[in-house]
Amino acid sequence: MLENIRLSLQGILSHKVRSILTMLGIIIGIAAIIAIVSTIKGTNEQIKNNLIGSGNNTVNVQLYQGESPYDFSYQAAPDGVQVVSAEVRDQITSLKNVESASFYRTRSYCDNVYYQNTQFSGSMYGIDAAYFDTAGYEVQQGRGFLSKEYTNNAKAVILDSTAVKSLYSSESPIGSVIDINGEPFTVVGVVTEVSSFEPVINSEEDYWTYMGTSGGKMFIPGQSWPIAYRYDEPENCLAKAVDTDSMPAVGKKVAELMNATIRTNSVGKEGDSNQIKYDSQDLLKQAKSLQKLSSSTNTMLIWIASISLLVGGIGVMNIMLVSVTERTREIGLKKAIGAKKGSILAQFLTEASVLTSIGGIIGVGIGIALAQLISKIASVPVAISSLSIVVSVVFSMVVGIVFGLIPSIKASNLNPIDALRYE
What does the alpha-carbon distance between residue 134 and residue 321 come to, in Å, rounded to a whole number?
Answer: 67
What's residue 267's pLDDT? 56
Among the listed residues 152, 150, 151, 127, the one whose alpha carbon sits nearest the alpha carbon of residue 137: 127
For the chain, give the mean pLDDT.
78
- The answer to whether 326 touches 366, Cβ cutoff 8 Å, is no
The full 3-state SS of 221-265, as one line of letters, equals EHHHHHHHHCCCCCCEEEEEECCHHHHHHHHHHHHHHHHCCCCHH
Per-residue pLDDT tens digits for 221-231 = 999 998 888 66
Q: Each residue of 254-307: pLDDT tens digit?
A: 989 998 888 765 555 665 667 888 888 655 555 555 556 556 666 666 677 677
pLDDT of residue 268: 57
Q: Is the Cβ–Cβ distance between 4 and 336 less than 8 Å?
A: no
Q: Can you give the pLDDT at residue 205?
A: 44
pTM of this structure: 0.58
Residues contacting 259, CB < 8 A, separation 6+: 277, 278
Alpha carbon distances (Å) from 75 to 51, 71, 107, 313: 28, 6, 11, 67
- C-alpha triplet 252, 255, 259: angle, nearest 5°: 140
Q: Give per-residue pLDDT as tens, 325-361.
A: 666 666 667 767 766 777 777 777 787 788 888 888 8
Which residues lie below 8 Å from residue 155, measured CB to CB, with a gap of 6+?
183, 184, 185, 186, 224, 227
Beta bridge partners of 184: 179
Other CB atoms within 10 A of residue 340 CB: 11
What's the pLDDT at 211? 47
CB 108 within 8 A of CB 211: yes
Greatest Cα pair distance in the chain: 108
| Average pLDDT estimate for 199-218 | 56
Per-range mean pLDDT, top range of 1-15, 48-62, 247-261, 384-398 = 247-261
Please, are residues 215 and 151 in contact by the beta-carbon 8 Å criterion? no
The H-assigned helical ranges of 327-340 are 328-336
Q: In Å, how far from its chain's centre is CA 240?
A: 18
pLDDT at 278: 87
Contact in structure between 215 and 122 (CB atoms under 8 Å): yes
